[in-house]
Structure 1
Amino acid sequence: MKYTLKEYQADAVGQMLTYFADARDDYHGKGRNVSFSLAATTGAGKTVMASAVIEGLFFGDPDWDFEADPGAVVLWFTDDPSLNEQTKARILDASGDRITYSRLQVIENTFNREKFEPGNVYFLNSQKLSKNTLLVRGAVEDGNALFERNVTPDLRQHTIWDTIRNTIEDDRLTLYLILDEAHKGMRRRTAADRAEQQTLVKRLINGANGVPPIPVVWGISATIERFTAAMKDVEGRYPYPHYEIDPALIQESGLLKDDIRLDFPAEKGTFDTVLLRRGVRKVKAAGRLWERYAEAQDSSGDTVNPLLVVQVPNTPSKELLQDAVDAVREEWPELRGDGIAHVFGDHVSIHIGDYEIPYISPQKVQEASHIRVLFAKDAVSTGWDCPRAEVLVSYRPATDKTHITQLLGRMVRTPLARRIAGDDVLNSVDCVLPYFNRATAMEVAEILLGKKPQGDDGKGDTGGGAGRRVLIHPVDMHANEAIPTCVWEAFDALPSQSLPKKAAKPTKRLSTLAQALSHDGFLRDARKAAYTEMFAVLDGLMSRHRDAIENATRGILNVEGETIVATVAGKKVADPEKFHEIADERSIEADFKNAQRILSADLARKYADHIAVTDEDDDGLFDAHLAVVALAEIDGVQADLNREATALTNKWLARYRVDIKGLTDERRAVYDDIRGMSAEPQRIDIRRPKVRTEETAADEKGTKVETRPQHLMSDESGQFPIGSLNKWETNVLDTECSRTDFLAWYRNPGRASDDSLAIAYKDGKGNWRRMCPDFVFFHGSEDNVKVSIVDPHGFHLSDALPKLRGLANFTAEYGEEFHRVEAVAQMNEKSLRVLDLKSEDVRQAIEQAHDAESLYLSSAATDYY
């Protein structure tokens, strides 16, 4: 894969490959057809995950012990032909050089083959299966030829149904069907759709008129409910458990915008063009911010040309379009003449006065960076994504909440596929609603935060999860000038933690780090240096386990078997006779593949080349592979190798820590990913916030929230809004700020962003999660800044005890760097209790506790003052 998968993506790929392996066995071994699905909300990277799965299917995946299927054929099915080309381009981009262009074929009407070729992906859309298309002419439907001719009208030898049937009936092949947005073509639309689209897809899955059912069906959709409903009428298919990705993990990944800002008029009147002008100013301001960011990063690749999307009703009047175009041109006179386009369904240019608005296909908008204003209607197109679309002005009325959220859901991807460190503005998208009031805007906000409107079938899906905010009256804050430099320096030194990976491969992590260090010029020939170090480790292991390796080698070469002789006349079976054979090259290569999964494929191959003795009979490489196979079978070898690889990785990360800090955000993100490629939490740095955005309204009337001074980030008056705090959290804040040596405070962001102090912990199911303590306080003096973590957290919550354990483990490792680490809980309206995590006795009590409440009631806790 070209990209490093996020943790949730890697987990999903591993599970899907497990399903594919089981499905292959079920179909060829038991004759059982199967189905399963992957559900992930908008922006999860479904195509990237599918690309990784297809790579594993064609080439194998040692990370998941998945062997390639040499007979694999993938049929990728959608209901929109434009999506096929878009998906093809995304797979090519994601895969790098493994899945080549020639392996990805869009089935056109000229397609004419006896069967599909293994190792290829074929893209098909439902329109191509309609009975009047060239692909199916002459095919038999319900016992009758669609065209009463002995041959097809265009002299083609095979219809697409023939090709599918021949592929399924070939025992050497396995046909895997991927239903992209699986509900499409099965969901009820019109009567004509049920007769055409729905029937076609079900016939494809179930088989009909001599065409067998597709062996394996994989549905990729936004929600499990969609695929479940789609498969209700599927016959005789064994379903595997559905797999759904937690939306909170998608939000945490940085692939989606964190904040959505809603603007609407606060009084009655006609303000459509007024607010459209506001939207124009917003997109222009966003453009300037992105220009400054790219300049600061010294990277033209970080330049984003943000797009304004103007959403109009399905039948917009000429007057509406004229007024909108005039407002845009008056507010943005410097906009290029070709800077406005539309994606309406009629696909023709629109003439508005003396101005022509050309049509552009939705999938081309992202790359057409000269287009800065786009007119659209509903959701533009299924699967359309335009990460540079950062401002939406919707002319839809208040009754069209789903239409608005549907389109806005296509706009939540981060333009650079990562969160911008410490900048809430660049991590946000704006939505301007001229025809809404606060009440109706709040209904939109609820949908954007994950609450589905009644009767919604998923069309309003916008992704997101815990960590997303919808802001009505936001204020953007910058570094507080009243905060002394010594406090910021203390902030810079704070430890944070990465989220571990389940399928961590230390040798792969080392190789990735070496490549990065070499790329950035920190360590010349870093990969060579890494291999040299690992070869030395393997040489030592070879020497240490010499006797065991010799015994293992004899066992590998000696193939034992038994011959059973049945005497017909005597009607008895004689005792089996044993025989011995010498393993051949093919057998050793099969064992070598297993060794690659243990040592890592790259290291195993290169080490075999390193120890191979070249001779005329070319037995040197065979002997080297045999030695590597024997070494991999020795208990403890993998653990020793992983330990040494981890040690070298950590050594290099520490050595080049300061150099890495000086890189651009894009390159620093690479090293952050490498740190995270570990089975245990790793120390990472916190970055200073640049722009912090907070809500300033407390209710629907717009009542201003309370504020407090001395926060690291503040508005122009030096204040920070605390509307997100409850009463007892505010009590804790005021108590800490009243201490005589108080210097400053920091409301730690609740999402695991770069400017947040994050702590890894294991939840009740053993999965790694990250918590972000509420407060960081700074006390002491300019010469001695003392930093404390104080985390008010309710003991009644199900995650209370796991989070306490995570905080305890963090304190055990980094406690010396903090003055205090405390967890506070409210027992009643007047009483607060505190656990001092710097106390070893308290940490032991937390480890032994069965629930959080008993801890706060026990002698391990004291009253909080």
Structure 2
Amino acid sequence: MTAPTFQPKEYQNAALDRFRSYLRDSNSDGANIAFYKATNLPYRAAPIIAEGTPYICLRVPTGGGKTIMAAHAIGIAAQEFMQITNPMVLWLVPSTPILEQTVAALKDPEHPYRAALAKDFSSNITVLTKTEALCMSRADAEGGACVIVSTIQSFRREQASGEQDSEGLKAYQDAGALMGHFSGLSDQQVSGLERVEGADRPVASLANLLRLHRPMVIVDEAHNARTPLSFDTLARFSPSLILELTATPQTKHDPSADEHASNILYSVSAAELKAEQMIKLPIKLTTDADWQKTLGAALDCQTALEEAANAEELETKEYLRPLVLFQAQNASASDPTRLTFDKIERYLLEDKKIKKERIAVHTGPRKDLDGIKIDSRDCEIRYIITVQKLKEGWDCPFAYILCSVAEQVSPTAIEQILGRVLRMPKAQRKRRDALNCAYAFVASRSFDTTAQQLKDGLVEGAGFNKLEADQIIAPQGDIGYQQIAEQVRHQSDPIGDQDMPHQAVEAVLAKLPPSIKARVSFDQDTRVIAYQGPMSRENRNLLQLAFAKVPKAEKAIDRLFAKSNNLQTSAADAADKPPFVVPLLGFRKQGELELFSKEHFLDLPWRLDQCDPATIAARFKLVDHSQTGQIDVSDKGKVEIDFIKRVQGDLSAVIQEPSWTLPRLANWLDSGISHPDITKPSAIVFISKAVQRLIDKGTPLDVLARHKYELRKTLGLLISDLRGERETGNYSALFAANASAFATSGDLAMIFDDQSYAFNQPYSGPTKFNKHYTRLIGDLKPSGEEFDCAVHLDRSEMVRFWIRNVEGKSGSFWLQLPHQKFYPDFVAMLHDGRILVVEYKGGHLYPGEGDKRMIGSVWADASDGKCLFCMPTDRKFSLIDVTIQA
């Protein structure tokens, strides 16, 4: 059966792209320089690990999908760095429960983790535990991707006390089943392996087998593997590279104290997770000194959420059963008043009359969740009682409410259970806002102290940015379902004109999603919109877009939104803030206005086979990288690059490849070049012609096959350059011949809001901005020319709101360029309703940005004066004022 498709989230792709670029640069620049090139940060070599080993970290907050990213990273590393089709991977996890969970998922053909591997290795995948690896066949090790999942503890030869670890030693002892892996090795291969004492043959151990295959090492929850013993264990495997994944990487670097910072290559923000609908935010907090009131409030919240979930299911068919996680206190012989798990269970059973089958205890001797499929419709459990944390690896998006009566010991301890209520079911926002939030009820006398503890827990335990955490914890208000139950209908001010035809409004209503359509009605006589229940921000935005062409509708819907939310509006300014709607550029094709994109100037598929590959002979130059000889250790860059070449040489020596033919080589080269705009037959023809040209120029086929990775890289760059020439030519020709086809329309628009506004890092400078549309400002440095441009916009009397438009995010404004999308720096809403887009360019960059100025002007001209565009440079911000007043 075919594995399911799973498209990585936008931030996951961005992190993996950074990983890919880093590995490519490491091939030519070394691990150190490549890291600085990617981050502008100093590179910290891992202790004990061989110098030159790429050792980097992807920081992903709780709920961000680290495991799926790790699965995708294997194919990237094999192709870009290890340069083999059969990598060996040592995947280290922090605990046995997570090991079992990870192995089961990677072995399951129907699981997205396995699908991520299959994308790069098809069915040539072997997934093993350490026990299984101790008897793996040579075919398992060499036939494709071989992934060994284990804990780092199970590979340690000695314990922290210095005593031998009998379990860990198994990986270093002779294993008869592994003997066949060590036959036919060269002297160079044997020289790097541990040998049997008093003999010349290598120990037939799993550790030696790993060392022979120079594995990629993945360290999940890497903050748990920072001791000298852990690094010593990793060094025993001679890894080709080490990839860490964690929410809370080590940032302090003090080797004298055995503190070694991770090299954070990419850091994912909470805003990105929220925009991708991965987590429930904000966390609504309620505190009360009375523990019984605290528990009662949590139970009431669960009842309200379950009613909301039932209503949601009627509309979307998605099953939800919101759970409460009760955090009890530890038992103490000296303090019989402590609120232990049994007391809470008894209170729920006897005082609240909750059915026994709805309660599960998972702590100490009680493991009620073992073997339970918590998300099954047949499961009755709604209340789970624990102490410090649930079993590692437990993950159920149905968990919505944390109710804690425990003393809060540390931020990390808080996060261990708080993180369980953050995941969004099916990674998809719900139509009811109450189901998009998480809830915390804490027995405490101080709301502020408790809120700060939760914020600290999100930062130190879940990997969130401090500024983001400050916005995540919010006071709990009325959940708002009393009004929904009473079916209150709220009426708007009149919209449109007296003579507006009824059919025009009916056409608008017909286009609305069913969930909104069921709540909305229109009275033709009074021209009033009626909306049933509290209106969510998302529904407000959809109504604004739908009624964009109807006179007087925008402000009427704004006021209707505020009126319907009189019990659940959390901020006074939010109700008065109009939706930030920005028209996108359209192109009229066969009478229909479509969003302008590449398909309007590029015919697909591209006939690459009709292009001339003649320049391949000048581009592809063979360089002899010897695997032997002296290494100049004083030249650090050379050491790192030599390390990479030695790794690639060691890996290629493990496998004896069959003889190559031109068709086989062409197909292999094509398999590693991404070309969604080209059919495979067309690509094969072009690649075959390019290889044949090299053969005609005197390079034998077997030599080309030996250097196939360098050849594939060169071919990929050649195809990319040819693609660029095609895109530039077609783009210019389109504008020359179809200038009148561009237009904007209310039907083609995007909208900025807090939910979809994603960024990499929040602005943290001292200057306060008063007009930014969202509370946090994304990716704005606290000084520099772009910062000064933002200050000018914020202080302009003509600007009502502005927003930092973050590059590359799905919720950002963009315009199409020949090769990629253009994301201008700022978008502003003026007091008169017009939209201003500003792209700032430094003086040295301005001359080369003609395409951006052209498409910006086309967009503004197509809007009939509703939109403006300018590109100030050299701090001449007066151009912004001139553009507005023109």
Which TM class, normalised by the smaller chain length? 0.5 to 0.7
Match of 2:436 among 427, 430, 433: 427
Contact 1:788 1:820 survives alignment (8 Å): yes
Matches within 5 A, 1:356-367: 358-360=368-370, 365=374
Matching of residue 54 in structure 1 with residue 74 in structure 2 = yes
Amino acid at match of 1:417: A
Match of 1:307 among 323, 344, 350: 323
CA contact 2:70–2:218 (8 Å) conserved in 1? no
CA distance in 2 between counterparts of 1:485 and 1:322 reads: 60
Q: 1:634, 1:121 → 2: CA distance?
A: 33
Structure 1 residue 51: Cα displacement: 1.0
Q: For 1:229-628, what aligned pairs fall within 5 Å after superposition?
A: 242-265=265-288, 271-297=290-316, 300=317, 302-315=318-331, 320-329=340-349, 337-344=356-363, 346-348=364-366, 358-360=368-370, 365=374, 370-382=380-392, 384-397=394-407, 402-420=412-430, 423-444=432-453, 446-447=455-456, 452=459, 458-459=460-461, 461=463, 466=468, 468-474=471-477, 481-484=491-494, 490-492=544-546, 493=548, 496=582, 534=604, 537-538=606-607, 548=612, 586-587=661-662, 589-594=664-669, 600=675, 603-607=678-682
Preserved contact between residue 256 and residue 414 of structure 1 (Cα < 8 Å) = yes
Q: CA deviation at 1:431?
A: 0.3
The CA distance in 2 between the partners of 1:23 and 1:42, in whole Å, is 29
- State the Cα deviation string for residues 792-813 of structure 1 (Å, max 9, x = none): 9xxxxxxxxxxxx999987962
Deviations 1:219-246 (A, max 9, x none): 22223425967998599xx997743334
2:582–2:751: 8 Å Cα contact kept in structure 1?
Answer: yes
User: 1:294 touches 1:303 (CA, 8 Å); kept in 2?
Assistant: yes
Mapped partners of 1:90, 1:330: distance in 2: 40
Deviations 1:279-305 (A, max 9, x none): 1121222222222223222xx3x2222
Structure 2 CA distance, aligned partners of 1:175 and 1:56? 14
- Aligned counterparts, 1:694-773, within 5 A: 758-760=812-814
Shift of 1:273: 1.7
| Contact in 1 for aligned 2:390/2:417 (Cα 8 Å) | yes
Between the aligned partners of 2:67 and 2:751, the Cα distance in structure 1 is: 31
Q: Does 1:82 align with 2:97?
A: yes
- The structure with the greater share of residues assigned to strand is 1
Select 1:70's aligned residue among 77, 85, 101: 85
> 1:53 offset after TM fit, Å?
0.9
The equivalent of 2:128 in structure 1 is: 105
Matches within 5 A, 1:176-255: 176-186=216-226, 199=229, 201-207=230-236, 213-225=238-250, 242-255=265-278
Matched, 1:848 2:868: no
State the SS of the aligned residue for 2:491. coil
The one-letter code sitting in structure 2 at the alignment partner of 1:586 is: T
Contact 1:412–1:462, Cα closer than 8 Å, also in 2 = no
CA distance in 1, matches of 2:678, 2:86: 28
Counterparts of 1:609-648 in structure 2, within 5 Å, are 637-639=722-724
> Which AA in structure 2 matches 1:81?
T
* Structure 1 pair 632–432 and aligned structure 2 pair: CA distance change class (3 A): closer
Q: Is the 8 A contact 1:223 1:244 kept in 2?
A: no
Q: Secondary structure at the match of 1:254?
A: coil
| Residue equivalent to 1:813 | 859
Classify the secondary structure of the residue corresponding to 2:433.
Answer: coil
Corresponding letter in the other structure for 2:661: R
2:60 paired with 1:36: no
Task: Please give the alpha-carbon distance, in whole angstroms, between the structure 1 residues aligned to 2:419 and 2:114.
Answer: 28
CA shift in 2, pair 1:281/1:635, >3 Å = closer
Alignment of 1:144-183 (within 5 A): 163-170=205-212, 173-183=213-223
Paired residues of 2:91 and 2:148 also in contact (CA < 8 A): yes
Provide Cα deviations, 1:153-175, integer angstroms capped at 9, x if missing partner.
Answer: xxxxxxx99534422453xx221
Post-superposition Cα deviations, 1:767-823, rounded to whole Å, max 9, x if no partner, equal 98798978798x9xxxxxxx555999xxxxxxxxxxxx99998796268669866xx
- TM-superposed CA distance for 1:213, in Å, is 3.9
How far apart are the structure 1 equivalents of 2:822 and 2:376? 37
RMSD of aligned C-alpha atoms? 5.9
Change (3 A) 1:226 1:55: same
Q: Deviations over 1:234-261 (max 9, x none)?
A: 99xx997743334443343321222110
CA contact (8 A) 1:757 1:773 kept: no
The answer to whether the 8 A contact 1:774-1:791 is kept is: yes
Where does structure 1 lack aligned partners over 5 or more consecutive residues? 142-159, 188-197, 350-357, 453-457, 500-509, 515-529, 563-583, 613-621, 623-627, 648-660, 662-682, 691-727, 737-746, 780-786, 793-804, 822-837
> Which of the residues 141, 165, 182 maps onto 1:117?
141
- 1:576-598 Cα deviation digits (max 9, x unpaired): xxxxxxxx963454455555666
For this pair of structures, how many residues does the alignment match?
594
Alpha-carbon distance in 2 for matches of 1:427, 1:818:
39
The alignment's TM-score, normalised by the length of structure 2, stands at 0.54
Distance in 2, matches of 1:320 and 1:239, equals 39
What is the rounded CA distance, in whole Å, between the counterparts of 1:377 and 1:808 in structure 2?
A: 62
SS of 1:108's partner is helix
Percent identical among aligned pairs is: 15
Deviation at 1:4, TM superposition (A): 1.6
Using the alignment, how far apart are the partners of 2:727 and 2:381 within structure 1? 50
| Structure 2 unmatched ranges of 5 or more | 32-49, 175-201, 497-528, 530-539, 549-579, 586-594, 625-658, 688-700, 702-711, 733-746, 756-792, 839-850
* Contact persistence 2:171–2:206 (CA under 8 A): no
CA contact (8 A) 1:109 1:133 kept: no
Change (3 A) 1:820 1:307: same
What do residues 406-465 of structure 1 show as CA deviations (whole Å, max 9, x unaligned)? 4213321211213336x43222100001224223133135436x6x5xxxxx33645796
Report the CA distance between 1:378 and its aligned residue: 1.8
State the shift of 1:310 in Å. Answer: 0.4
Counterpart residue type for residue 169 of structure 2: V
* 1:94 aligned onto 2:112: yes
Are 1:406 and 1:459, in contact at CA under 8 Å, matched by a contact in 2? Answer: yes
Structure 1 contact 250–464 (Cα < 8 Å) conserved: no
- One-letter identity of the residue aligned with 2:423: R
2: CA distance between counterparts of 1:445 and 1:848? 44
Of 17, 20, 38 in structure 2, the residue corresponding to residue 17 of structure 1 is: 20
Tell whether the 8 Å contact from 1:398 to 1:435 is kept in structure 2 after alignment.
no
Q: Within 1, Cα distance between the matches of 2:683 and 2:855?
A: 41
**Mapped contact 1:247–1:465 kept (Cα < 8 A):** no
What is the CA-CA distance between 1:47 and the residue it aligns to?
Answer: 1.0
Q: Does the 8 Å CA contact 1:552/1:630 hold for their aligned counterparts?
A: no
3-state SS of 2:243 partner: strand
Matches of 2:25 and 2:716, distance apart in 1? 30
With over 3 angstroms needed to count, the CA separation of the structure-2 counterparts of 1:122 and 1:465, relative to structure 1, is: farther
In 2, Cα distance between equivalents of 1:360 and 1:419: 29
Q: 1:774 to 1:69 in 2, by over 3 A?
A: same
C-alpha contact 1:408 1:462 (8 A) present in aligned 2 = no
